[in-house]
Each structure stands twice: as structure tokens, then as C-alpha cells.
Structure 1
């Protein structure tokens, strides 16, 4: 008994057995990639996937973004039947696209739809980074160009949420052509004096940032979003200079006049409603 009173505490942790691990439901919690705080998934979703501890904006899927944005979560999706082909017979490209389709339940890396935001009709496009890292292939470019043309024809605003790693290398020059095609469609909107709002989320890079993502009448970004064309290392090796720590962040671009505003996700819907009201 006396031996038990003077026993030293253990300096090691007990590792749960495999059975205990299996009993814990998968996906009930997740860690913030920035501050490491353990977050309850349901609470994180209620907070629009923004970490309450540090304010880090985690990625949102296209359906989640639309549900949080349009009135009553009601919208009509366009061009859902468009599916990528394999023009270059790129090894395993078809398999990878099919795998992403199964994982995301989407046919491509962008969803375009029509709905109302604060009672104001709008065409909305949302890129989804889960699908080929939101890369811009021929179908992505086609859907965005069609959305812009519909907005011009109906004379209602077009709001596009960008999230992309750039052009899709598996489609070669066909993916690069989408930069010109989407830009031409947006120019048609400009001639018709129809509003285009570009919302840049993390990340928006490569050919997407060099084309439609930067052509908004109003350019908005979420806090901390990575926005740029070439990678940081490539630029530093080219200019042979050390870049600022906040280079290619939304805040850096705002400070240097490349953005109109940086808006936290929780305030984004109200901000868009004000913009739509002003331009109605």
C-alpha cells in the first residue's frame, strides 16, 4: 500500500488500440493547417470553414459555396453534362478524371449556376480545388465562357469564385486557349455593361490568375489567399532578389492596387448583396 502512494507518475502516453481507433467516427474532427487547432467538423462547417482560433480560411467545395451564398440554397445549375475528353491521349488522364468525378460527385472543376443573392438574380460560377486542383481544361473554360455569355444575354451580373492551380497540362494548348476564350466572353459582358465580380480564393495561380480571375469590374479576395502567376522560387531565381514574406498574398495585392477589397468569408455574402444592390 505504501509503495502505491510513492509511485512515480508515468512519463509516457498510452497508445490507443486499433479497436479503439475504429470506434471513433472518421471525420468528426480535423486540424487547422495553419495553427494546428483541433476543430469539430460540424462547428467548422457552421462557421463557413473558417478556423475560430486563427481565422484561417479552409477550402470550400463548390456545392458548399453555393449553398452558403444563394438565397435558401436554391439555384439552377448549367452545363452539368459537359465532361473532359483526352485529346492528347495523356497517360492515365481519363482514369484520374474519373477518380475525381467519383470523389467529388462533380463532372468538372467548376460549377456554373443561376440563383438569387439577397433577392438579386445572378449567374454564379464556383471553381472546386478538389477536382484536378481546379485546373483549367477545355471544359472549365467552356463553362465559364458560356456563363459569361448568359450573363450578357440576360443582363444580370456574373460572380465567379476562382480557385485553381492554373492551366491543365494534360490538355496542352487546348487548356491555354481557354485564357483567350474566357477573356473574350468577359469583354462581351463589358461591352454590354454587365457587372462581373471576381472573387479570388486560395489558391488562384497560373493561367487562371493571368486571365479571367483578374478581369473583374470588382476584384475581391478572401484573407490570406495565395494569388499569383509563377511560383515564388521561380520569381526569386529570375529577379535574383528575396521577395517579401507576404508576397502573392491577398493583403499584399490589395496594398499594391491589384485588388479592390479583401473580405472575410463570413462577410462575403453581405458584401456581394451591397454590390448587387448598388449596380441593380
Structure 2
């Protein structure tokens, strides 16, 4: 009998687990590196009060930020075959999905809600970057189609808030197929003259940018959000030039006509309300 492995180690692991589960009191801002009280940071919707840096925000907190509290309806999306290509890199794709679902509690990288923004009905589709980088696979494509169909059925606006690294490589060509599928879904919405608003958050890149994310009636963006197709390093190596410091940031896109307005998180509900009031007159 080894008393270290049998007696000491289990107690040590229990202590470590207990410590790690305790509430984090302080976090460091990723931009200005100031220490922020965790509860204060959450109360400010994960925006640094010192420098205004917009950190990642959980889906449930963004829903609270935008939608009126009453009558929020969850819109389910049909489940898909997890791994039709039997894809494997360092580990199986099916195992990556299981890990992501356990970590986030979500089936995939999206969530659809039907509710109201200051009494303006809308369908809200949100991306969860913590689920495999918010990558777009078949489930995400199905969700965009479902969100568009729901908006048409309920005769209301569609608002999408992407946060994604692009197409999900583990699904190969099936992932790339979601680009035209999502564009067709949005086109059907536009044929009904229903508003389509995109709120670009950090990051919005790859196939997501090259499809549904940049064909909105109105393009809003959060401060400092990275928005682009290829990465900065890849572009610099291709064009053999040094790019501007704020290249692919939301403010840069605003200056070059790709974004209509950059809006801080605290003002988003008010701004979207004004847009909906105008577009739905």
C-alpha cells in the first residue's frame, strides 16, 4: 500500500478542486491590464470601466442586455448527424463536440430567441465563441435558416450577433455549403421586406464574414471588434506591406464604409430600438 497515492493525493486533489470552484474575485483587463472586481465587470456587461475594452460576454447576459424580460421564447433547431465525415485530427471531431457541449451546456455554437426589444418584436440569433470558436457548421446553417423562417412567420425583424472564426474545418465542404445556404435564407427574408440587422462582435471572420454577416440592411459593430476574412498576418505576407495598426478593427471598417455605426454595449438596446422604430414604420 502506497500511503502517498492512496491517502495524501486524493485529499490534495479535493483541495485543488475546491479552490478552483470558488468564485473569482478579480480579473485583469486584456487591454489596459487593470484589475477589475469580477462582479463589477459582470454588472457592466464585461466592459472595462478604465479603457472601455469590450470583453467576451456570455449569451445569457447578452440576451438580458437586449431583450425585454417578459415573453422570451426559445426557438429550437433540428439536431444534425454529429460527424458525417468521421473527421479526426489530433482527436475525433465527435469528441471535440462532446467536450464543447459539456463546457458550454449548448448543443452547438448558436442560440435563437424570439422576444421584444422595447416592445419591438424580433428574432435574435446569437453566436457563442466559447463553442469551438463560434465556427459555422451544419447546425449553424440550419439555425440561420430557422431564424429567417421564424422572422417571416412572425412578420418581424431578424437580428444576428456573430462571433466566429469562420467555417468549421472538421465538417469540410459541408461547412462551406452553409455560406450559400445562409445567404439564400437572408434573401428570402429580404423578399418579404423585413429588417435584417447585424451586430458584429469580436471576432467576426472567415466564411461568416463572407456570407450572411455582411449582407444586412444595417451593420452595427462593437468597439474594437476584429472583422475580416483572412487574418492580418496572411494579408501582410500576401501584399508584402505593413498594414495600419487598426486594420480590420470595427473603427477602421466604419471609416471605410463597411460598418454603419460602432456602438458601445450599454447603448445597443437604445440604438437598435431606434433603428427598428424607423425601419418598421
- TM-score normalized by structure 1? 0.89
Secondary structure of 2:141 counterpart: helix
Alignment partner, residue 230 of structure 2: 230
- Aligned residues of 1:83 and 1:108 also touching (Cα < 8 A): no
Determine if the alignment matches structure 1 residue 67 to structure 2 residue 64: yes
Alignment partner, residue 42 of structure 1: 39
- Aligned residues of 2:136 and 2:166 also touching (Cα < 8 A): yes
- Aligned residues of 1:84 and 1:139 also touching (Cα < 8 A): no
Name structure 1 gaps, 5 residues minimum: 1-17
Distance 2:124 2:81 in 1: 21
Please give the residue correspondences for 1:98-137 in structure 2 after superposition, counting only pairs within 5 Å. 98-137=98-137
Alignment partner, residue 244 of structure 1: 244
Name structure 2 gaps, 5 residues minimum: 1-14
Secondary structure of 1:71 counterpart: coil
Determine if the alignment matches structure 1 residue 255 to structure 2 residue 255: yes
Deviation at 1:73, TM superposition (A): 6.2
Deviation at 1:24, TM superposition (A): 9.9
Distance 1:64 1:264 in 2: 15
Deviation at 1:82, TM superposition (A): 2.4
Distance 1:89 1:216 in 2: 35
The size of the alignment, in residue pairs, is 262
Secondary structure of 2:204 counterpart: strand
- Aligned residues of 2:87 and 2:170 also touching (Cα < 8 A): yes
Pair 279,85 (structure 1): closer, same or farther in 2 beyond 3 Å: same
User: Cα RMSD (Å) of the superposition?
Assistant: 1.8
Please give the residue correspondences for 1:49-60 in structure 2 after superposition, counting only pairs within 5 Å. 49-60=46-57
Higher-Rg member (1/2): 1
Alignment partner, residue 86 of structure 1: 83
Deviation at 1:46, TM superposition (A): 0.7
Secondary structure of 1:116 counterpart: strand
- Aligned residues of 1:66 and 1:73 also touching (Cα < 8 A): no
Deviation at 1:153, TM superposition (A): 2.8
- TM-score normalized by structure 2? 0.89
